[in-house]
Structure 1
Amino acid sequence: MTTTWADFQQAEPDLAATVRERFGKYTHHVLATLRKDGSPRLTGLEAKFPLDELVLTMMPDSRKAQDLLRDPRFSLLANPGEGAEMGGGDVRVSGRAIEATDQETLDRFAKAIGAPLPFHLFRLDLTEVVRTTVENDELVVRTWHPGRPVRTIRRT
């Protein structure tokens, strides 16, 4: 069963709004994929919400696209911003990236993001969403997994 952004948004609307806001603060974020040998690859990426869905788009045959086509597991970290303040906290979504290949879907998203084809379009099957903040003197980690409520851990 696939867990889409809409599923997450319906299950946890407040956390989803916070996550979307964090991704919206900056254009570029950090994508983690797995290379052929299993080692991690970190690359910059624009994360977008065209048609109200978080998707990943990449140039044809880019290394990160090749990674996801071979092994769809990913983690996407929202740009934390400048300095050590991390205003708004740290946000990460993880799961599996599923390439959309049907022409109708590609055309709809190309129009929505204003980018010409060809490009790789990956829809996301979310397996984890994490928000980390500092509140007063506590580190607060909120974690969501499909089918479960948000779990909060506080550390001093």
Structure 2
Amino acid sequence: MTGSWKQFETEAPELAKRVHARFTAEKTHVLATLRRDGSPRVNGSEVEFRDGELLLGSMLNAVKARDLRRDGRCAIHAFPGDPENGCDAKVSGVAEELPGGGDSHLFRLGLTDVVVTWVEGNSLWVETWWPDRPRVRYERPENGPALRHPL
């Protein structure tokens, strides 16, 4: 099951705001696609937020576009930049090519999960969103066992 960026914004607005900030803070991010043999491939990629959707672009007939056309499963990691930026954001989903790309490819990403991690004090925090499921937040204080926090 996948969800749209708009659904993510509706179900987890404060988390979506943090993820959007990370993806708009830098121009290029790291996209993981699947090669024909199923092994991973990483590529630089840009994202765009338009009409409640998260979009990925690609040059015409680029390897990452061929990967996504064959198997749309992918993940994109926002460029981490400055460690003081507040969080680390990753989005996974299934890319679907939109028609009319002309001299490039444009893919809409159906979200399967969004993960945000950040450090607060001596704790690592992880929050995850999935479409139509409750969010989950964990804390790892002092690098110890993970503690689940209700949201």
TM-score by length of 1: 0.85
Deviations 1:31-58 (A, max 9, x none): 0000011111011011111345310010
* Structure in which a larger fraction of residues adopt helix: 1
What root-mean-square deviation, in Å, do the aligned CA atoms of Structure 1 and Structure 2 show?
Answer: 1.4
Deviations 1:46-86 (A, max 9, x none): 1111345310010111000000111110000000004xx25
Contact 1:132 / 1:140 at 8 angstroms: preserved in 2?
A: yes
The correspondence of residues 76-115 of structure 1 with structure 2, limited to 5 A, is 76-82=76-82, 85=83, 87-101=85-99, 103=100, 106=101
Aligned structure 1 segments of 4 or more residues deviating by more than 4 angstroms = none
Partner of 1:6, secondary structure, is helix
2:34 aligned residue: 34
The correspondence of residues 1-80 of structure 1 with structure 2, limited to 5 A, is 2-80=2-80
1:123 aligned residue: 108
Q: 1:68 to 1:86 in 2, by over 3 A?
A: farther
1:109 aligned residue: none
* Structure in which a larger fraction of residues adopt strand: 2
Matched, 1:137 2:122: yes
Q: Which runs of 5+ in 2 are unaligned?
A: 142-151
Contact 2:4 / 2:52 at 8 angstroms: preserved in 1?
A: no
For residues 88 and 2 of structure 2, the distance between their equivalents in structure 1, rounded to whole angstroms, comes to: 25
For residues 2 and 94 of structure 1, the distance between their equivalents in structure 2, rounded to whole angstroms, comes to: 10
Contact 1:80 / 1:86 at 8 angstroms: preserved in 2?
A: no
Partner of 2:132, secondary structure, is coil
Partner of 1:61, secondary structure, is coil
For residues 71 and 20 of structure 2, the distance between their equivalents in structure 1, rounded to whole angstroms, comes to: 25
Q: Which runs of 5+ in 1 are unaligned?
A: 107-116
For residues 2 and 89 of structure 2, the distance between their equivalents in structure 1, rounded to whole angstroms, comes to: 21
Task: Give aligned pairs, total.
Answer: 141
TM-score by length of 2: 0.88
